A and B are shown apart, each in its own frame.
Chain A
């Protein structure tokens, strides 16, 4: 009931994000025609600056599977940032948005524990995020199909699982911050800043060849792109850290929300 209500409130945004994400992934899939053979892939790779070639090890992936390598470089790199921002926006809407528009009183007048309210809304966010990753896969497949190419969706899914866990942790952190910040807009700024800031730092570290352990605090580096796309490995560091961080932040957010004085 709480989940359905939150989904109803987020319906417009979710439809918009789904549509845009589908079109972007469709375009990315279709543009993979640029590297449909090894020669093209090598040419593309060589045209990039060396630091970019190192980024996420796409050089190796391109050599092994041109389409996956191309997607890793062109699309999978940005995907967790795009959906991280979606997660931050939605997390800020869980409580801070309700406070700002004065509707928190409606929610709190329902005979429902505050913790349950928060949990069910976050689970809805988690479901919406999973849906957007699914939309992305569909968009990519349709895009690739349009140029008679195929990728390895099973391995993309492994990669996306890692990114999904990272995005959940970022959303959990945004939710926690939003309970301390005075307004929804500040919460959105904090959440989006976190997502983009972590991404930029991690990208810089990746270009500098910093190993995964050094990139771990910035979350994105926990997802081993090469391991997932080349060897079909589960990105367990991202899953483990992402899910643990999510549980921790939600637990702290529940405690904070339970004590929060609602004056609106």
Chain B
């Protein structure tokens, strides 16, 4: 399979011991690939390594066949980068900053930038310091896409955007993928990744927990269940799919459910209940599930 982005045992460790470790995954050309993880998991470190901001200690990464460390300039010429933190000059207008970015790539046509800005409803002529957080994010998105790059690296792109702008951005990302552009975008919002991607990598504590299809991810998704029994709570800890069983009182218990919803309903139907609560888990719980299963696999 041809790959647009390839990471091979990529490792970058900071002085405090955190970082990314042995990351290996690939993204196909034209793929919209999600990179999911909680804050501090290593998503930004991965993307900064791909941009050549950080030099990996071990392993390698390529974008369209070019090494991100030794051919960094060539890589950056074909990449559109949107960092998680705002990085624009306050005293300059969006248009000025986009013009410079285009000039650095031997381009001068601002028509694409203007089209994207129109879609996002942002005024590129205004100085960045006069714009709101969301408007600044829109300028940064326009900047990343203005030179029509083959690969887009978006680090939490919807940060600061209102729901309407998020929808527009999602539309733009789908269109770009439809035009054959490769997009790797990081997020800590599960629903956002689900809505956009077919495939996702989950990172936790700097290590890849899983790289999988979203559909399979959904199947494995954990639910947080609280139940109150009419009589004494039975011990269901050993039932397949039940994790983190906890007896809250004589009649109440809570647990995490990993598996198909139907199997959960079958399990609960076998008992007399006075109350039941089934909640979507926090993202952390999803990670814990994958983390636990990846440990078991080892």
B226 interface residue, CB < 8 Å from A?
A: no
Asked whether, in the complex, the Cβ of A262 is within 8 Å of the Cβ of B53, the reply is yes
Asked whether, in the complex, the Cβ of A1 is within 8 Å of the Cβ of B83, the reply is no
Within 8 A of A (CB), among B183-227: none
Chain B residue total in the interface (Cβ 8 A): 29
B276 interface residue, CB < 8 Å from A?
A: no
B260 interface residue, CB < 8 Å from A?
A: no
A 158-188 binary contact with B (CB < 8 Å = 1; else 0): 0000000000000000000000000000000
The residue that A111 contacts in the complex, of B53, B73, B85, B96, with Cβ under 8 A, is: B73
Asked whether, in the complex, the Cβ of B53 is within 8 Å of the Cβ of A5, the reply is no
Closest residue on chain B to residue A258 by CB atoms:
B55
Closest residue on chain B to residue A112 by CB atoms:
B104
B77 interface residue, CB < 8 Å from A?
A: yes
Asked whether, in the complex, the Cβ of B54 is within 8 Å of the Cβ of A110, the reply is no
Asked whether, in the complex, the Cβ of A261 is within 8 Å of the Cβ of B55, the reply is yes
Known pairs A103-B87, A264-B85; A112 contacts B73 (CB<8 A)? yes
| Chain B binding surface SS class | loop
Range of interface residues on chain A?
Answer: 20 to 34
Question: In the complex, what residues of A have CB within 8 A of residue B73's CB?
Answer: 111-113
Question: In the complex, what residues of B have CB within 8 A of residue A231's CB?
Answer: none
B105 interface residue, CB < 8 Å from A?
A: yes
Asked whether, in the complex, the Cβ of B103 is within 8 Å of the Cβ of A1, the reply is yes
Closest residue on chain A to residue B106 by CB atoms:
A111
A204 interface residue, CB < 8 Å from B?
A: no
A34 interface residue, CB < 8 Å from B?
A: no
Asked whether, in the complex, the Cβ of B86 is within 8 Å of the Cβ of A263, the reply is no
Smallest distance from the beta carbon of B291 to chain A beta carbons, Å?
25
A110 to B98, CA, bound (A): 11
Question: In the complex, what residues of A have CB within 8 A of residue B96's CB?
Answer: 8
B 70-107 binary contact with A (CB < 8 Å = 1; else 0): 00011011010101011111111000110011011100
Within 8 A of B (CB), among A32-69: none
Known pairs A1-B104, A262-B54; A106 contacts B97 (CB<8 A)? yes
Asked whether, in the complex, the Cβ of B104 is within 8 Å of the Cβ of A111, the reply is yes
Asked whether, in the complex, the Cβ of A263 is within 8 Å of the Cβ of B48, the reply is yes
Closest residue on chain B to residue A111 by CB atoms:
B77
Smallest distance from the beta carbon of B257 to chain A beta carbons, Å?
39
Question: In the complex, what residues of B have CB within 8 A of residue A9's CB?
Answer: 89, 91-92
The residue that B76 contacts in the complex, of A12, A101, A109, A263, with Cβ under 8 A, is: A109
A201 interface residue, CB < 8 Å from B?
A: no
Smallest distance from the beta carbon of B155 to chain A beta carbons, Å?
10
Smallest distance from the beta carbon of B274 to chain A beta carbons, Å?
53
B37 interface residue, CB < 8 Å from A?
A: no
Question: In the complex, what residues of B have CB within 8 A of residue A197's CB?
Answer: none
A-B contact pairs, 18 of them (CB 8 A): A1-B104, A9-B92, A12-B91, A102-B86, A104-B87, A105-B81, A106-B88, A106-B97, A110-B100, A110-B104, A111-B74, A112-B73, A259-B55, A261-B53, A262-B48, A262-B54, A263-B14, A264-B87
* A residues neighboring B (CB under 8 Å): 1, 5, 8-9, 12, 101-106, 108-113, 259, 261-264
Known: A102-B85, A109-B101. 5 other contacts (CB 8 A): A8-B92, A110-B101, A110-B104, A262-B48, A263-B48
